[in-house]
Amino acid sequence: MPAENGRAGQSTVDLNSDLGEGFGIWVLGDDDALLDIVTSANVACGFHAGDPTIMRATCERAAERGVVIGAQVSYRDLAGFGRQRMDVPPDRLADEITYQIGALDAFARAAGTRVAYVKPHGALYNTVVTDEVQAAGVAEGVRRYGELPMLGLPGSALLSAAEARGLPTVTEAFADRAYTPEGHLVSRREAGAVLHDIETIAARCVDLATHGRITAIDGSEVTVGARSICVHGDTPGAVEIARAVRAALEAADITPAPFA
């Protein structure tokens, strides 16, 4: 199935954010505020963050606001918040992906909705951009659960593996992350990997939606077709950034709307 790529001049775009990333008594980000802004919620499934109570509550609050729920799957890495790359055999990785989707979908269905798509988190997201073996493991884990759309980076091994298994694919871009000239995300270990200036972030999102391009860290322009824009919920000023992005898009006659 072909990728559902974004296009220059599109009149709608999805806004997604990583939510439900607390654990126990620890809280990360302002989920309630972000749920009033975004159109899709990537909800942590318990492997890098989230616990049953947080998963249930996040699904309920998303359902109340009409925000679409996606499974934010990751490596089994609570200590490292899913940001440590792991050499997981593809068969086991597939099982862990299916497990995470099923766990979140139980809470989504209890809230009167369902898991509508899947997006990897952190180190797993970055790994499956180029690692065909792990990308196949993730895609197979999703396929076993059902024909859920896969949200990922344009041109990634993950989306290719998903397409090969008949899964719908949706491309995304990141509002506040720096890009390499190759169209990959700059590693968080490098200076300048995360953007913080609200006006700059909002303007690049409008440029992305209207012209399908983004400026790389070296100043070159990268073509990025994306149907969804990720606004991170765990960065300083996340809510203000998300509000500014949505306001700028709407001012440019681009309507935030879920893809699923």
Distance, in Å, from the CA atom of 216 to the CA atom of 177, rounded to the nearest integer, reads: 10
Encoded tokens for 131: 């690692």
Helix H or strand E segment including 134: helix 132-145
Sign, CA dihedral 5-173-117-113, equals negative
Helix H or strand E segment including 126: helix 122-130
Evaluate whether 74 touches 43 at the Cβ level (below 8 Å).
no
Evaluate whether 15 touches 254 at the Cβ level (below 8 Å).
no
Half-sphere exposure of 218 (CA within 13 A, CB side): 7
> Bridge partners of 119?
72
pTM of the model: 0.93
- Tens of pLDDT, residues 91-115: 999 999 999 999 999 999 999 999 9
β-strands 3-4, 115-120: how paired? unpaired
- How many CB atoms neighbour CB 179 within 10 A? 23
Three-state DSSP at 174 gives: strand
Question: What does pLDDT average to in each consecutive run of 10 residues of the chain (260 residues)?
Answer: 50 96 95 97 98 98 98 98 96 98 98 98 96 98 98 96 98 94 89 91 94 92 92 87 97 96
Three-state DSSP at 20 gives: coil
Evaluate whether 14 touches 39 at the Cβ level (below 8 Å).
yes
Distance, in Å, from the CA atom of 196 to the CA atom of 2, rounded to the nearest integer, reads: 34
The pLDDT score that the predictor gives to residue 4 is 46
Report phi then psi at 151, rounded to 5: -100, 125
The pLDDT score that the predictor gives to residue 1 is 33
